[in-house]
Structure 1
Amino acid sequence: MRVGSDGMAADSMVQLVSCLAAQQPYEIVGTPESEWVDFKSVPPEGPYDLSTDKGKFELAKDVAAFSNAGGGLLVCGFKAKKKQTELYEVAEKVTPFDKKLVDSTKYKDVITEYVRPLLKVKFFWYDHPEGDPEASGHYFVIEVPALPEADRWAMVTRGITDNGQFIKNSWTVPIRNGDTTAFLPQDEVYRLLNDGLRARRGADAAMPAPVADRVKAREVLRAGLGMEETPVLFFQSAPDRPRGLVPGMYADGGLQDILDNQDTLRGAHAFNWSSAYKRPESREGGLLLADAPRRGLLVESDGAVTGAASATAEMLGWAMERYNDGGGTRRISVFVLTEITLEYFRLVDQHVLPLVDGPWTHRIVASDFARPPGRILASGDDPAFPLWGSTQMATSDSWNHSWKALGDPERDAYEALRHIYALFGLDVTANPFVDANSVNTAKLLEKKM
């Protein structure tokens, strides 16, 4: 009997790898190729025929393209096909194979020789479940890290002819574009070269590069909190020019102590990032404060911060059940949304930004807010009576906006709310706790929980 069920689809790298690790490959069938995953079926010579220039180029190109995006997975052992009713190719069949078809040392050598800069690519094998009469074997996964924005772009040190032969003294810059790979246009390469020349002549002449979106940090935190199926509001902050490990992360008075003893407006049981039950734990040179199912914080080794708050009755929808229309806890509490937003920036602006000199970028990401039954928000304060407060529905499942950090908690909180309210087709002035271009802390504290 076959294990698993068709068409469940994985919506993140973490979920896809979890299915493979649990020997549930059929759960992945139905997953579309995207900017973070590409499926490879396996012909007799393996996923990539490294005995040919074309096979070497394809491997190098795929790795470089994912590194120029937000990182991704090359998943070998699935057949993907594009149907007329679908926008992208979709994994439609499992095709596990024998391990002898892949020599991971040769794969590593090709990537090392033909991709610049050098990338720390990881290789993983996963077993197909035993006893399946329809298929047997293994799955091979290549995990490609995102290249930091300051180091982009990754390039393949060879071009290739239509006949599949390497062109010496040539190079290409592949870019992942949805479920396909494009190449950086010549005009863009020319512009980048000139920007570099201007930067050498004077630091003020070059335009600053955009800060990389920490997609993987959101996925890691979401999985750690068990919120893969939960609508989540993410707050993120990253230094524009990371400088390696933040000093004193675990020292007395360092970030670990600050997270463990947060200076909040109302105490650990209110709507902030503190916890009365959990302590921050070390994680890969950083910190993880996971207080599921409400919220959690991830601090990376370079100081970048990701916060996740559930858009359910546990947090953003707290005490809003009575004001919904029977479709579940959908309404967002204006008070809770405002307070947890302000508390994030009180923590990050005051205690994290000073640790890394230079500009920072803040970001908010609302994930799955439009997924049925959808999250709703209304103008004004939280209703005092069920019939008050006309609500607006969230209009996107992947709302993602950033701005240069101001370093002032009340002003940065205002910027975050301005972007969040726009998700619902509302102006931030509809929030009763904002004045001019900032959140009014005094007004917020007047509100009784």
Structure 2
Amino acid sequence: MAADSMVQLVSYLAAQQPYAIVGTPESEWVDFKSVPPGGPYDLSTDKGKFELAKDVAAFSNAGGGLLVCGFKAKKKQTELYEVAEKVTPFGKKLVDSTRYKDIITEYVRPLLKVKFFWYDHPEDDPEASGHYFVIEVPALSEADRWAVVTRGITDDGQFIKNSWTIPIRNGDTTAFLPQDEVYRLLNDGLRARHGADAAVAAPAVDRAEAREALRADLGMQETPVLFFQSIPDHPRGLVPGTYADGGLRDVLGNQDTLRGASAFNWASVHTRPEPREGGLLLTIPARGGLLVDSDGAITGAAAATSDMLGWAMEYYSGDGERRISVFVLTEITLEYFRLVDRHVLPLVHSTWTHRIVASDFAQAPARTLAPGDDPAFPLRGAPQPATSSNWNHSWKALGDPELDAYEALRHIYALFGLDVTTNPFTDGNRVDTAKLLAKRQ
């Protein structure tokens, strides 16, 4: 057997059928890595760091692809490309994914939204055991090309300072953009700059009509609502495969959440995503919902009531105010970006803009938020009222759920005159998933 697409290859791994991948040729979308004692890439050396950065940049320049670690590939005389011929699963201790991410961040420009996944080998296999490590590399849009490795390397495997390379995927191998082509690209850019006034960056589109449509579908016109929105800066028409098996409808209907569907996330135990003008609508009665436009833009609405953001806080509210739960706010925010950054952004090759809108939070009775964790009796933490009923802020998507969740909370906390560092589930510039999971236990 063999996999003929990224989706099929990943489905084999997820179903613990790695032997079905044997026979798959390396190509512009997949590269197989066997695992020596030091791991797929030896990041203790300049050569290992360069190899990782080079492979990631090459796939990004070629339309995206998968680096699949745990298979031995070999080129036979009768075959044009190297082909996966043997499974070689390995232990997770050989890969420090944080270190991998740091290397890619340091040596590849622009910043890429690379994702890491582990898949298990079947436990009942007497011939092999361990895991497979997959690096999913997104494609750069034409407007953003080319991905550059910020170091060259000598024949002895040492970095060359003040040098750079542009790797490109060529079938099952990696080549480098020729100097003449680099020269032409630079001069084309200069001619374009001098031939026209420098373009002024257009403000990100604010799809207020999508928020109002979702609010009407949810019957929440009179309810304070916290909206999350994610818009591709360069929409490219209908998102392919939205209604196909394994497509966006299935993703929304079978969400990978931190807790069950009845917790504070964007899943529903009562309703399924419905087709809506080329997109999707998922309603979560009394709590909120999701609206996906045909081009992939997504809007989420969470009710600022005791059914959602104010869950369990009614007991602590005084003077007609409605207190927001810090835990619920943090979890629903992180769950939004776990869904959108991982499953929606990769469908449209574009830069994206995230936006939060707090609507009617200052209207009486005003919604309030307190620094620190949620209160326990006796009441602790002085709640601060919302200072605006039309709080609307956006930022360029970072592509990392914990980073984007922090950025969203930073803007939400400012609505109440608070600093996001008072949120107990943050660490540095990110939401700490481990802290949130520890709290729920």
Q: TM-score by structure 2 length?
A: 0.55
Preserved contact between residue 278 and residue 293 of structure 2 (Cα < 8 Å): yes
Instruction: Name which of 346, 368, 375 aligns with 2:360.
Output: 368
| Structure 2 counterparts to residues 144-293 of structure 1, below 5 A | 205-293=198-286
Equivalent AA in structure 2 for residue 285 of structure 1: G
Deviations 1:28-48 (Å, cap 9, x if unpaired)?
A: xxxxxxxxxxxxxxxxxxxxx
| Structure 2 counterparts to residues 436-447 of structure 1, below 5 A | 436-447=428-439
Pairing 1:435–2:418 present: no
Preserved contact between residue 239 and residue 347 of structure 2 (Cα < 8 Å): yes
Correspondence for 1:322: 315
Equivalent AA in structure 2 for residue 207 of structure 1: V
Deviations 1:137-170 (Å, cap 9, x if unpaired)?
A: xxxxxxxxxxxxxxxxxxxxxxxxxxxxxxxxxx
Instruction: Mark the CA change 1:250 to 1:378 in structure 2 (over 3 Å): closer, same or farther.
Output: same
Correspondence for 1:417: 409
Instruction: Mark the CA change 1:395 to 1:252 in structure 2 (over 3 Å): closer, same or farther.
Output: same
Preserved contact between residue 322 and residue 386 of structure 1 (Cα < 8 Å): no
Runs of 4+ in 1 over 3 A off after TM superposition: 197-205
Pairing 1:348–2:308 present: no
Instruction: Mark the CA change 1:198 to 1:326 in structure 2 (over 3 Å): closer, same or farther.
Output: farther
How big is the shift at 1:309? 0.2
Secondary structure (helix, strand or coil) at the match of 1:358 reads: coil
Instruction: Mark the CA change 1:433 to 1:243 in structure 2 (over 3 Å): closer, same or farther.
Output: same
Pairing 1:388–2:383 present: no
Count of aligned pairs between the two proteins:
252
Instruction: Name which of 303, 320, 329 aligns with 1:337.
Output: 329
Equivalent AA in structure 2 for residue 290 of structure 1: T
Q: Percent identity at matched positions? A: 76
Query: What is the distance in 1 between the residues matched to 2:408 and 2:368?
Result: 17
Equivalent AA in structure 2 for residue 280 of structure 1: P
Preserved contact between residue 323 and residue 386 of structure 1 (Cα < 8 Å): no
Preserved contact between residue 226 and residue 292 of structure 1 (Cα < 8 Å): no
Query: What is the distance in 1 between the residues matched to 2:197 and 2:294?
Result: 29
Preserved contact between residue 238 and residue 278 of structure 2 (Cα < 8 Å): yes
Preserved contact between residue 235 and residue 350 of structure 2 (Cα < 8 Å): no
Correspondence for 1:404: 396
Secondary structure (helix, strand or coil) at the match of 2:377 reads: coil
Deviations 1:46-81 (Å, cap 9, x if unpaired)?
A: xxxxxxxxxxxxxxxxxxxxxxxxxxxxxxxxxxxx
How big is the shift at 1:448? 2.4
Instruction: Mark the CA change 1:357 to 1:204 in structure 2 (over 3 Å): closer, same or farther.
Output: farther
Preserved contact between residue 227 and residue 358 of structure 2 (Cα < 8 Å): yes
Q: TM-score by structure 1 length?
A: 0.55
How big is the shift at 1:206? 2.4
> Which runs of no fewer than 5 residues in structure 2 stay unpaired?
1-189
How big is the shift at 1:203? 10
Preserved contact between residue 199 and residue 205 of structure 1 (Cα < 8 Å): no
RMSD: 1.8
Query: What is the distance in 1 between the residues matched to 2:336 and 2:279?
Result: 18
